[in-house]
Amino acid sequence: MKTTSKNLYLILKNITLYIICIVFLTSCSTKKTGFQKEEWGTVNGETAFLYTLTNKNGMTVKLTNYGGIITSVLAPDKNGVFEDVVLGFDNLQQYLDKNPCFGATIGRFANRIRNGQFEIGGVKYQLKQNDKVHCSHGANEFDRTLWDGTYVENKIGKGIKFHHFSKDGTNGFPGNLDVYVTYTLTKNNAIHVQFEATTDKSTHVNLTQHSYFNLTAMKENIYNHKIQIKADNYTEIDEDIVPTGKISTVKGTDWDLTKMTRIGDNIHKLNHNGYHYCYIFNKPEKKLEEVIKVIEPTSGRTLTVTTTQPGVQFYSGNSIAPFKGKYGFKYEQHSAFCLETEHLPDSPNHSNFPSTLLKPGEKYNEVVIYDFGVVE
C-alpha cells in the first residue's frame, strides 16, 4: 500500500491522540494515587491486605486489616525530609508473632480490668486473664483478628474503614458488638481515627490506638522529645499498673506533664521503668479538644493530639524487649512512646470514673486525631 501524505498525516494524528489519551489516563490515575491495596499474606487461610494512603503533601500512612494496624507513617521533618515515625515490622509474620501491639487497634476494652471481672445488672462476668490475673487490652481480640477493610473518601481526606463483629462471649465479654474504626489521612498531615460501636446487650467498651511514636525516625531514643499533657489529675495505680480507684493530682510529682517537659528528665525516677500513667484531661467529657503536644527539637517534627476521650495512657516503651524492627532497626526500652487516648482503665469497677457501659440502642462514638507538623 502506497503511503500518501494524507495517510501519513492520519497515522501521526492517531498516534498523537493515543499519546494524549495515555497521558490523560495517567494523570487521572495520579490524582488517585492517594490509595493502594495489595495482598500481604494470609491468616488462617484468609487474605491480609496492606493499604497505602498518600496525601497531596506526600505524607504516607500504611495500614493492614490484620489487627487494624498502622504499620508506617512517613512524616516530613523541618527540612521536608519524609521518614517513618512509628515502630513496626517489614512483614506480616512478625506481626503474627508475639509483640507489644505495635500500631494496633485495641478492644474490646483498652488497658486493664482488675481480676478480669465486672458486674452488669447484678450479673458477674469473668473475662480472659492475659496479664497476670487481670484482663489487658480485651485479651487481645481486636489486635489479633482480620478486619474487613473498605476504602473511603470524604472532605477531610482518604481513608480505610475497618469493620469487626465481636461475638457475644468472646473472651468473656457480653453482647454481640458491631465495631467500625475509620482511619483517614487528612489533607493537612493528620491521622483522623473514629471509633464506632453498637451492641445488642449491655457491655463495657473502651477502644484506643496503640502506635509507638519516635519523631526522630529511630535516630535516637525518646529522651529529647518534649511533651505537654493538659491533665491535672491521673489514676493512682498499684504494682500491676491497675487503678486503685483513687484520682489524684499530678502536681508535685515526677510525672507532672502540665508544662512542656523533656521526657528524659524524669523517666529514670519513675516506677515501672518510666511513664506508665493514665492522665485525665482538663476538659468536658465527649468534647473534641487538643490535649497533647509533643516536640522533637532535632528533626523539628511535632505531634499534636486532639480527642473526645477523657484520658490517655502515656507509656514510654518501658518494657519493649529487643525486637528487630523495620529497616533493620533494633527496638528496645524507651525507643518510642504511646499516646493511647481512652476511657480510664478498670472503669467498670469504679463508679467515680466516667462510665464505659454501652447499652442496646446506644452508639459508642469517639475520635482521636494525631496531627503531624514542624516547629515554626
- Which are the catalytic amino acids? 210, 340
Identify the bridge partners of residue 49 per DSSP, sorted by sequence position: 39
Give the Cα separation of 224 and 261 in Å (integer).
9
Identify the bridge partners of residue 337 per DSSP, sorted by sequence position: 213
Dihedral of the alpha carbons of 279, 281, 282, 287, in degrees to the nearest 10:
-170
Give the Cα separation of 370 and 373 in Å (integer).
10
Give the Cα separation of 256 and 233 in Å (integer).
9
CB atoms within 10 A of CB 248: 13
